């Protein structure tokens, strides 16, 4: 399975958790990691290139820090620009059919804070429904989300373990992930 990770962190070089993730992924074959903010510092997304890349991969992973209950703004723009009518959805929009998608996110908060009635009011899965709905609308297969909680306060050892867990997760078969 050919996997592309789209890392969408505005300050990837300053993120201990997301750096740990990308460093771990570099040790694995069959996973290509792209830094969206590095590739598009001017926010002018090359739609044809992005669509061509999506066709080359079986699984696409969106890796980002959880920003105000959503993804960072450049990734949202990427969705808006790349998932076009007639290509990703609508008549003739079947290019993402059969593609697997995973959201991999990090939060500064604890897992207990992401529960119904807790500090954040909802689970991560509930808060990611707009992205899941987007993938569903585009005929992709949305797989369960990978989350690392307490990323801000995590020790180097914790982040290393989470990075290893992340690498195993995104390489696992759909049957294992979606059991």
3-177 architecture in CATH? 3-Layer(aba) Sandwich (3.40)
Query: Do the bridges between strand 31-35 and strand 3-7 make them parallel or antiparallel, or are there none, so unpaired?
Result: parallel
Predicted confidence (pLDDT) per residue in 59-105, tens digit: 999 999 998 889 999 999 999 999 999 999 999 999 999 999 999 99
What pLDDT was estimated at residue 30?
92
Q: Where are the chain's structural domains?
A: 3-177
By annotation, the residues acting in catalysis are 108, 114, 119
3-state secondary structure of 88: coil
3-state secondary structure of 31: strand
- The position carrying tokens 């373990």 is 161
pLDDT band at 34 (very low <50, low <70, confident <90, very high): very high
**How far is residue 139's CA from residue 5's CA, in Å, rounded to a whole number?**
19
Q: How many residues are present in the chain?
A: 179
């Amino acid at each position: 399975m050919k996997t592309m990770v789209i890392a969408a962190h505005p300050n990837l070089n300053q993120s201990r958790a997301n750096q740990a993730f990308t460093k771990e992924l570099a040790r694995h074959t069959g996973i290509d990691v792209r830094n969206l903010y590095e590739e598009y510092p001017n926010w002018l997304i090359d739609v044809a290139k992005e669509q061509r890349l999506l066709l080359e991969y079986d699984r696409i992973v969106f890796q980002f820090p959880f920003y105000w209950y959503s993804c960072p703004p450049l990734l949202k723009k990427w969705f808006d620009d790349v998932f076009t009518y007639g290509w990703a959805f609508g008549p003739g929009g079947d290019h993402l059919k059969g593609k697997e998608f995973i959201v991999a996110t990090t939060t500064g908060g604890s897992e207990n804070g992401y529960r119904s009635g807790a500090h954040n009011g909802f689970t991560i899965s509930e808060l990611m429904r707009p992205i899941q709905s987007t993938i569903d609308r585009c005929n992709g297969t949305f797989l369960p989300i990978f989350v690392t909680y307490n990323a801000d306060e995590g020790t180097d050892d914790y982040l290393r373990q989470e990075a290893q867990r992340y690498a195993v997760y995104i390489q696992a078969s759909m049957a294992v992930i979606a059991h």
